Amino acid sequence: MYKPRIGLILIVFLTTSLTAKAQSVKDRFVGKSPCAAETLSERPDFSIRLDKAQRTDLVNRNLPNSKVLLIVQYKNEADHCGVILDAIEIQNMSKDFQFSCFDPLEPGAVVVGTRSTNDSRVTAVATEAWRIDLKKETFNKDRHKVKCSYESGAGEDDGSDLVDAAKKRAAQESSGQNAKRSEH
């Protein structure tokens, strides 16, 4: 007699738990400063310029049990902390975020993905991917077959950003497609 109710309660509890867990990374980071003690990690972090026009960076945080990627916006050039606009998390420590990703169905989009840390191929299909909405400054799950390449970010800062890189990849893809069409 009570079994259906217990099952229903269990389903509601599990759904609520999973929803709370999925929201926890956003609750923990969004709206806060990446300089605040509760948003810092003990291990080395890095950042990459997302969109210089909007003064946004992607900041990678290596936490004890997960890796978090933040969209951070700065008020001006002197601002070194900014505010966190969005966050995503990977809990599989054998994966890393990748920043040179390409979605052939949206060639001009800025896309980040994940790949296994043991994958030594230069280019491979991402295990997960997110398209960045540059107007809303948010991550959106990308369910297309996204390819990511290892590219070194080392060297001099030439002032470019991920938006510039996406435009460049889209132009290269377009010129490659046009060259293939003209061969036929």
Q: Classify residue 116: in a domain, yes or no.
A: yes
Q: In the structure encoding, which two tokens stand for residue 184, read together?
A: 């036929």
The DSSP secondary-structure symbol of 112 reads E
Q: How many structural domains does the chain have?
A: 1
* In-domain check, residue 118: yes
**In this predicted structure, what is the pLDDT of residue 172?**
84
Whether residue 132 is contained in a domain is answered as: yes
Split at pLDDT 50, 70, 90, the class of 57 is very high
pLDDT value for 158: 81
Rounded CA separation 38/28 (Å): 8
Confidence of residue 42 (pLDDT cuts 50, 70, 90): confident
Residue 51: domain span? 25-152+161-168
Question: Is 14 within the bounds of a domain?
Answer: no
Is 69 part of a structural domain of the chain? yes
Instruction: Give 70-112 pLDDT, tens digit per residue.
Output: 999 999 999 999 999 999 999 999 999 999 999 999 999 999 9
What's the CA gap between 17 and 14, in Å, rounded?
A: 5
Query: Does residue 10 form part of some domain?
Result: no
Residue 34 lies in a domain: yes
The kind and range of the H/E element at 23 are: helix 3-29
Judged by DSSP in three states, 151 sits in coil
How far apart CA 111 and CA 8 sit, in angstroms, is 39
pTM: 0.80
pLDDT digits 0-9 by tens, 113-171: 999 999 999 999 999 999 999 999 999 999 999 999 987 665 567 888 999 999 998 88
Please indicate, yes or no, if residue 32 is contained in any of the structural domains: yes
